[in-house]
Amino acid sequence: MIRLYDYVLSASCYKIRLMAALLGVKLDQEAVDFHPGRAHKSVAFAQLNPAGTLPVLVDGDLILTESTAMLVYLAQLAGRDWLGPLDPKSAAQVQHWLAFSGRLAASLGMARLHDMLLYEGDIDAWRAQGHAALRELEAALSERRFAGGVWLVGDAPSIADIACFPNVALSQDGGVSLDAYPSVRLWTRAIRALDRFVEMPGIHRLHELRPAPEVA
């Protein structure tokens, strides 16, 4: 069975749990004491991942330490439709959003770590960078919506959506509201409404949300 070294409050770990659930892939979840124990920085954990980061995915002799690679791997194994359309333009757009998810982690994700786990750093800069990323996402999703689309790439959800979703949905934990981004909020609702969607602390199913935002 595929093993996931996991922390329940990690947005990066959650995206792997979510992807696996949507694909119907069973994971052997190994809880790591990220906070306050910082077990991911231990000598023992460094044998598995010298970078000391979570998540880590292990399948036989394969060890993956980057969440976007894990999304690709799971989709290749169990749901190739989740890779998105395979024409050159669409494939490049999927890669764009996978890279963009790193910007979300480095801004919204860090603001959340600051507010929830007392990480030190420039909270004002992280929040400003988070808003900049959300404006970019809002523009892209508004364009998709005006063209009759829902998802970041193509006519169905893909690993692009799953890569970006957690840090966006959890942005308020870092003091960044989604109130100014109606297309982003509609997109998060669409993801929460997917069959086999699973929750994490701070992210609930569609029926627990406020009414849908009004958009022009």
Beta bridge partners of 167: none
Which one-letter DSSP state was computed for residue 214?
P
Give residue 129's pLDDT.
98
Dist. CA 101–CA 99, nearest whole Å: 5
Give residue 2's pLDDT.
97
Kindly report the average pLDDT of the chain as a whole number: 92
Q: Domains of the chain, with CATH numbers?
A: 2-81 (3.40.30.10), 83-195 (1.20.1050.10)
Residue 117 pLDDT greater than 70, yes or no: yes
Residue 208 pLDDT greater than 90, yes or no: no
